[in-house]
Chain A
């Protein structure tokens, strides 16, 4: 193959250190610009992915976040092993890399002075997948919220159920949805924020069950993957398919809220509802 056909991108080491590239519009910015703008692309408005800790820092009132259920971790019921090795090794490496012990960080905090139970998923932890530990943390959060009369706010970011945990990861969809149902029956609000990306078993369980479902501009939200759908219907899908804007247009999202307005928006809703 000739050099001009090569699909490999040229490697310029300094570029990576200085520049950030918007994954949606491919515009280049100084990393500082990207960071100072809460990881929002100044050109297309795409909201870049955040770690759970970055998100908590943006949402929780300063110094109010008290983490809960950190002791609830993953479990390897199946002793799962694939082509690249045991699940246990992968998840331990993820724990090492991210400093988190599951794909959701849960805790009590205040948002604009309103006491809430807050959960934030971290896509860097096994693609934000829903494992038994994730489901257990969410179920416990619902129960604690009921006990302490706290509204629940969850930020989702996930590729779906964690297949390494087999059927029990699937069952977390039912378990979390049942727990959310109990929370709602207790007259408590649940605000679901679907962030980029929220798909598969997570969008098909607690993430879509908010009393209000909100999202950020240009986030990817859907059930099945784009390629799977294209192979099923033998058609190319439009660019905006499964975008936040597409979901709002079809009636599954209450509002698209910019990251900079997220905290006051949540506080305002809780205020409307008397919490």
Chain B
């Protein structure tokens, strides 16, 4: 236990970010929202349980909540495919976000996935197209979007619901182009070198803040969010409300220009 409180390496954070006791979307919704109505389905083929969405109230703000769902129990894990989204999930997210846009309701997304589902059915239904379309779609969505990376930000499967106006990240969350194990397997030719890869990839919240990939770090309670869900959710709630309230006042054109400028500056080396 004492070890947990003493987080040093990037791999320590990876372990914390993947801790099954860490608060999941269900916990955040329960602790942050006074009400929540889940809505189902992509209107095409399926209701993907790995990505949940619905309208909710946070304090006095009406929002659409979208987020990866890993599930809290083994049964839920299985039903939710461990938070690995199929194309249907991204298409559901877009459908609901379009509805939020129609009524000028801000969108809050919770990001926590090992990655988009790498399966044959996912390929057959167009995983690449669904992610690509999500990126284009959220970049142009005419309502504020606040993103919270709460656990694992697993590559394109995370990014598909992580394009927004304000990107928050929990202190011990990680966000990466590839898993440390995957990177180690390719560039070190040895999956066991994941700790080295995790360090080299710069995937912690403080690294990402320096690189300009996120806007703000949300503090976790001592030892990590898994120790105190209430305190973690309270910190997230405060940061989300602040972000929504500062974005709500912006004219839609300004909001979209600002969002585009933020994306446009990613990796901008002509500073």
Contacts and interface: CB of A to CB of B under 8 A. Distances in A.
Interface stretch (A1-9, A46-54, A147-155, A206-214): A206-214
A168 to B, nearest CB: 4
A163 B183 contact: yes
A181 B120 contact: no
A132 interface: yes
Interface residues of B, number: 53
Interface in B99-137: 116-120, 122-129, 131-133, 135-137
B177 A229 contact: no
Contacts of B178: 161, 163
Given A82-B187, A163-B177, A174-B266, A223 B136 contact: no
B118 A228 contact: yes
Interface stretch (A26-34, A73-81, A109-117): A73-81
B213 to A, nearest CB: 5
A171 interface: yes
A166 B201 contact: yes
Interface in B182-202: 183, 186-190, 193, 196-197, 200-202
Interface stretch (A12-20, A92-100, A235-243, A255-263): A235-243
B159 interface: yes
B135 A205 contact: yes
B187 A204 contact: no
A78 B267 CA distance: 11
A31 B163 CA distance: 47
B260 interface: yes
Given A166-B202, A166-B203, A173-B159, A205 B267 contact: no
A164 B202 CA distance: 10
Given A77-B267, A168-B267, A224-B127, A204 B156 contact: yes
A223 B128 contact: yes
Contacts of B120: 229, 233, 235, 237, 241
Given A78-B200, A208-B132, A171 B266 contact: yes
B200 A80 contact: yes
Contacts of B208: 167
B201 A163 contact: yes
Nearest to A231: B118
B136 A135 contact: no
B129 A170 contact: no
A224 B175 CA distance: 19
Given A78-B201, A132-B267, A167 B129 contact: no
A209 B134 CA distance: 10
Nearest to B157: A204
A250 B129 CA distance: 12
A200 B116 CA distance: 11
Nearest to B212: A168
Given A132-B269, A178-B163, A167 B175 contact: yes
A165 interface: yes
Interface of A: 75, 77-78, 80-84, 132, 135-136, 139, 161, 163-175, 177-182, 185, 199-201, 203-209, 221-225, 228-229, 232-233, 235, 237, 241-242, 250-252
Given A168-B267, A204-B127, 7 more contacts: A136-B268, A163-B186, A166-B211, A167-B175, A177-B135, A209-B133, A242-B123
11 contacts: A132-B266, A136-B268, A165-B267, A170-B155, A174-B266, A203-B128, A204-B132, A207-B132, A209-B133, A222-B128, A252-B126
Q: Which 8 A-B pairs have the closest CB atoms?
A: A132-B267, A224-B118, A178-B139, A177-B135, A171-B266, A203-B128, A168-B267, A208-B132
